[in-house]
Amino acid sequence: MTDDKVKNGLGAWYKLCPVRHTLILVSALVIAFHLLTRPLHALNVWLSENAVRPAHRWLSTVTGRVPFSVAELLIALLVFSLLIYLASQLVSFFSKPKFFLRLYRTLTTLLALGLSIYGGFCLLWGVYYYGDDFMARSGLKNEPISAEQLERVTAYFAALANEYSGRVPRDENGVCCTDRGGIIDRSPELYRAAVKAYPWLDGPELPAKGILCSRAMSYTDFTGFFFPFTGEANVNLDSPAAFFAATVAHELAHQRGVAKEQEANFVAVLACMKSGDEEYIYSAALLAYTHLGNALYSADPEAWARISGTLNDEVRADFAARREYWAQFETKVQTVSNKVYEGFLKSYDQKLGLKSYGACVDLLVNYYDPLVPDLRPAAGDGASAAQDAASPGAGSPEGEALSPEAESGEEKSPEDEKNP
């Protein structure tokens, strides 16, 4: 075969669907660039600070002008359009000539779409995993912790959860019934105090956005997600109220450039405690205690039992409500969703997968353990203790769980929530 024939053949093949072929080629190059440059730390730091963060600031400011989730709208339009396209192509396969050409164009369309989305995701989110993380920027240490340290910090957070459990609204069954709309309305100022301690967490003061299809979202086991294509922090409005504020804080941490899940959880706790908002503090207390309680149960079941036994009825009611809520969504859809997200985390070198959320424990204990003796809330002084705990170098208020099942990594709580 001559060179001219090869060129003519390639040209004819390219002309079959030039736009799709171009998208595939460009997307493949972007993905390859990202994969090859992962080891180049300095480059990823530069891209994170000079390209991705500014892009997210601009996108979130633009989409923040509308009260609904642009991310949800785009996802809905994509799914709807994709279903219409596939249905029309299926009909055309059997009603029009050139079956194989139509099949090729359909498959090429799907490939171009998938690669374009993934390529954009690599650039608008993936680079964060290979730049400076929160620990590197903050200078916080993540040293090995002892069972005694873990017990001490867990006990403190349990006490604080008990205290703040009486400061949030409750229904006739004694379950937290925080107004989710109010939590979202107050979310723009949530990070103000945290930014004073860590200026690089600065960003547009925008609210998280509730998802209209939150009930459907629960079937996928998601309570929130950050959408890098719009810069929006999205939250599930149907998930248990007691843990809702912590989820909001977690997604806003992602919006401010904290990519790793364990660090986003820690930053969420820190921001909530600094905020001085009692509903945010209580929710963060539950989030932190769930992490710590899980870890303590594995390290020292007797110590865990002692601390778990101190939980009051209100805290127990909130953990019970959480278990009851998530039990109804234990389906094959949830199983598939978990496996997909597990693969996502590991594809970005989060080697523990979903269990990487547990690494938050090390950050919590290393940060708060030196301060626990001074921060243990005295009677009538819980508010000031919480404020002190939220300051740089001080401990922060957190909470607890009530049984091995409630505290297990399989429980649906903010630290288990998938927040890409």
What's the pLDDT tens digit per position in 123-178?
999 999 999 988 888 888 778 888 899 999 999 899 999 999 999 999 999 999 99
Q: Please indicate, yes or no, whether residues 333 and 384 belong to a single structural domain of this protein.
A: yes
Q: Which structural domain range is residue 222 located in? A: 143-407
Quick one: how many helices (H) and strands (E) in the chain? 21, 3
Q: Are 252 and 297 members of one domain?
A: yes
Residue with tokens 């009692």: 278
Last residue of a domain, one of 72, 104, 130: 130
Torsion sign, CA atoms 328, 236, 118, 38: negative
Residue 135 lies in a domain: no
The pLDDT of residue 269 is: 93
Kindly state whether residues 171 and 239 are assigned to the same domain.
yes
Residue 413 in domain: no
Report the pLDDT value the prediction gives residue 339, as an integer from 0 to 100. Answer: 73
Contact 356, 350 (CB under 8 A): yes
Are 266 and 321 found together in one domain?
A: yes
Supply the pLDDT for residue 70: 98
Within a domain: 373: yes
Residue-level pLDDT at 358 = 56
Query: Looking at 68-82, 284-298, 302-316, 359-373, which range is the least confident one?
Result: 359-373
414 within a domain of the structure (yes/no): no
Q: How many domains does the chain have?
A: 2
pLDDT tens-digit readout, 64-75: 999 999 999 999
| 255 plus 107 within the same structural domain | no
- 392-420: average pLDDT: 37
**In Å, how far are 18, 240, 303 from 399, measured between CA atoms?**
57, 16, 15
Residue where one domain finishes, among candidates 130, 152, 175? 130
Identify whether residues 126 and 148 lie together within a single domain. no
pLDDT at position 262 is 87
Q: Is the pLDDT of residue 224 over 60?
A: yes
pLDDT of residue 404: 37
- In-domain check, residue 14: yes
CA 325 to chain CA centroid, nearest Å: 19
Last residue of a domain, one of 81, 101, 130: 130
* Residue 87 is assigned to a structural domain of this protein: yes
Say if residue 165 is in the same domain as residue 55.
no
Flag whether pLDDT at 400 surpasses 70: no
Judgement on whether residues 304 and 158 belong to the same structural domain of the protein: yes
Mean pLDDT of 207-212: 97
Average pLDDT of the segment spanning 392-412: 36
Contact status, residue 283 vs residue 184, Cβ threshold 8 Å: no
Q: pLDDT value at position 22?
A: 95
Whether residues 342 and 222 fall in one domain: yes
Kindly state whether residue 412 falls inside one of the protein's structural domains.
Answer: no
In angstroms, the CA 305 to CA 96 distance is 69
Identify the pLDDT of residue 210: 97
400/398 Cα distance (integer angstroms): 7
pLDDT at 223 exceeding the cut of 90: yes
Question: Same structural domain for residues 171 and 300?
Answer: yes
- Has residue 138 been placed in a domain? no
Q: Are 191 and 282 within one domain?
A: yes
Do 148 and 263 lie in one domain? The reply is: yes
Assign residue 140 a region: left if phi > 0, alpha if psi is -120 to 50, beta otherwise?
beta
Instruction: Check whether 391 has a pLDDT greater than 60.
Output: no
